[in-house]
Structures are given as structure tokens and as C-alpha cells.
């Protein structure tokens, strides 16, 4: 029986569990735990990782790729995360790698050889060769890959800084999870860094404003000094003008006095002469 027939046979007998029918589509598209999980497509994780995380249907978005890698600023996983965050209410991301990941053994060469032996055109392989190398050869150790994937999402300019991005490792046999990157710590230090940046920007702005005030003060004080000295020199000018006017007036008064006194003594002499003449006339 083909796999497709198996699927259809199974489906023909399938009845959704009663609780799912009761939900009347109530489990919305929005993940109840506001969580997106980026993990590997590994078959051992199917129906196993979710219960190991306490996650049920309707709780989270699962994005699965080979080796949970991020290969570019707008790769498929990033696109899905953007929809998760901006349209589906996702507030946290968990990148979950796993021990014994097959991607650690996959290389650009092994993939290339397998593709060529299946008749894939070398030209087509050449077209993606560089990306193939970056992706397949870049994955060497699952734990480091989780760290790199978290860092790639964290530094992506399209992902909001307040979304914590956790990194975890899952053990497919033991079913245990361990934290590799604590997204809360990471987000906290990012926020602290931002706060420090803002503080130092504020400090430098303060210094700038202080400097501007000082220079304005100096400018104003220079202007006041200029105005004062201009006033002083104007005062001196006016004083000199008054002095010289006073001298002029006083000279004029002296001149006038002299003229009057000359006129008076002239008149006196004339009167004396007249009196003399009169006296002589009376005697004769
Ligand atoms: Zn894997």
C-alpha cells in the first residue's frame, strides 16, 4: 500500500476527538501561549517535543526546518516569525535544537554529490552553491547552531527588540530540555544597553545645552560690556561738550563785561569833560 493510500485509509476512519468538535473552532489561530517555536524537522520530534514542553494544540506556532537555521535577513523562518509577531500575537520565540541532529553530518559536498547522482543539473547546483556552503557547512554543532540562530533572529532589524528569544537544546531520547540562551536575560541586557545609550545621549545633550548657555552668557555679557563702555564714552563726550560750552559762555560773559565797563568809563569821561566845560563856561 502506498503512503498516500495509507494516509487516506487512516483518514477515512478518523474522527476528531470530541473536545476538538466541542471547541466550535474556538481555538483561534492566535497561539494561547503567545509563543513561536523554531525547531528541527527531525522525525523523532513529531508529537514528542510539544508534550515535552507542556504545549498542546492551539498553544504555539511551530516553524520547522532542517536544523533550525536562519540563512538570511528575510529567509523563510524570518518571514513566518514576522507573521507570528505582527499578526498573530506572538510575544516570545524559542529556538529549539536537538542532540544527534542530522544537519551536523550534512555538508555542501555530500548534498552536491547526492544531487548529482540523482541527475540534478550541475548548473542548477552551481546557482545555489554559495548558499549551500554557508548553510550546510555552517552547521557543525547543534548547540552552537542554536546560539547562532538566536543571534541571527536577535540582530534581525525586522524583529522587535522587546521580543525575548530563547535558545534550548532537546534530547530526543531522554526528552529533556536545557537552556542555552535565556531570552529574558538577553532582552534585559539589550534594554539595559539601550538605557545606557539613552543616558549617555542625554548627558552629552546636557553638556551641549550647558555649553550653548555658557557661550550665550558670554556673548550677552560682552554685549553688556560693550554697551557700558559705549555709554561711558558718550558720557565723557557729553561732559566735554558741556565744559566747552560753559567755557564759551563764560568767555562771552567776560567779553560783555569788558565792553560794558569800557562803555561806562567812556561815558564817565564824557560826563566829566562836559562838567568841566560847563564849570569853565560858568566862571567866564
Ligand atoms: Zn535536527
pLDDT in tens, 167-224: 999 999 999 999 999 999 877 787 788 889 999 999 999 999 999 999 999 999 999 9
Residue range 27-62, pLDDT digits in tens: 578 999 999 999 999 999 999 999 999 999 999 999
User: What pLDDT, on the 0 to 100 scale, is given for residue 70?
Assistant: 95
pLDDT at 26 over 60: no
What architecture is the 3-181 domain classified under in CATH?
A: 3-Layer(aba) Sandwich (3.40)
Q: How far apart are CA 178 and CA 37, in angstroms?
A: 15
Mean pLDDT of 76-84: 98
For position 77, what pLDDT does the model report? 98
pLDDT band at 65 (very low <50, low <70, confident <90, very high): very high
Residue ranges covered by each domain of the chain? 3-181
> Given this model, what pLDDT does residue 164 score?
97
25 pLDDT exceeds 70? no
C-alpha of residue 263 to centroid of ligand 1, in Å? 135
Q: How far is the CA of 108 from the centre of ligand 1 (A)?
A: 16
Distance between Cα 45 and ligand 1 center (Å): 9
C-alpha span between 150 and 128 (Å, rounded): 24
Q: Residue count of the chain, please give it.
A: 284
Mean predicted confidence (pLDDT) in 144-160: 97
Q: What is the pLDDT of residue 16?
A: 85
Which residues lie across from 36 on neighbouring strands? Answer: 61, 93
Q: 100 C-alpha vs ligand 1 centroid, how far in Å?
A: 7
- Please identify every residue whose CB atom is under 5 Å from ligand 1, which is an ion: 40, 42, 101
Alpha carbon of 88 to ligand 1 centroid (Å):
26
Under 8 Å between Cβ of 61 and 85:
no
CA of 103 to the centre of ligand 1 (A): 6
Q: How far is the CA of 248 from the centre of ligand 1 (A)?
A: 113
Amino acid at each position: 500500500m502506498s503512503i498516500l493510500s495509507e494516509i487516506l485509509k487512516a483518514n477515512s476512519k478518523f474522527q476528531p476527538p470530541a473536545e476538538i468538535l466541542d471547541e466550535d473552532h474556538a481555538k483561534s489561530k492566535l497561539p494561547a501561549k503567545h509563543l513561536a517555536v523554531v525547531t528541527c524537522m527531525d522525525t523523532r520530534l513529531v508529537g514528542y517535543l510539544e508534550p515535552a514542553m507542556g504545549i498542546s494544540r492551539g498553544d504555539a506556532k511551530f516553524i520547522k526546518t532542517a536544523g533550525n537555521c536562519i540563512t538570511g535577513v528575510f529567509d523563510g523562518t524570518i518571514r513566518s516569525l514576522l507573521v507570528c509577531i505582527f499578526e498573530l500575537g506572538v510575544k516570545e520565540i524559542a529556538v529549539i535544537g536537538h542532540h544527534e541532529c542530522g544537519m551536523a553530518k550534512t555538508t555542501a559536498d555530500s548534498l552536491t554529490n547526492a544531487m548529482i547522482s540523482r541527475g540534478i543539473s550541475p548548473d542548477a547546483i552551481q546557482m545555489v552553491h554559495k548558499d549551500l556552503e554557508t548553510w550546510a557547512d555552517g552547521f557543525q554543532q547543534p548547540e552552537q547552531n542554536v546560539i547562532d540562530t538566536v543571534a541571527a533572529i536577535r540582530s534581525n532589524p525586522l524583529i522587535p527588540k522587546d521580543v525575548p528569544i530563547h535558545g534550548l537544546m532537546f534530547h530526543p531520547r531522554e526528552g529533556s530540555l536545557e537552556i542555552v540562551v535565556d531570552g529574558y536575560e538577553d532582552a534585559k541586557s539589550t534594554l539595559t544597553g539601550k538605557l545606557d545609550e539613552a543616558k549617555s545621549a542625554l548627558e552629552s545633550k546636557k553638556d551641549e545645552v550647558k555649553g550653548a548657555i555658557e557661550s550665550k552668557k558670554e556673548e550677552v555679557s560682552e554685549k553688556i560690556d560693550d554697551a557700558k563702555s559705549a555709554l561711558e564714552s558718550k558720557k565723557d563726550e557729553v561732559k566735554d561738550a558741556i565744559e566747552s560750552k560753559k567755557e564759551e559762555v563764560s568767555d562771552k560773559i567776560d567779553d560783555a563785561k569788558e565792553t560794558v565797563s569800557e562803555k561806562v568809563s567812556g561815558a564817565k569821561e564824557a560826563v566829566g569833560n562836559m562838567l568841566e566845560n560847563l564849570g569853565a563856561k560858568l566862571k567866564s
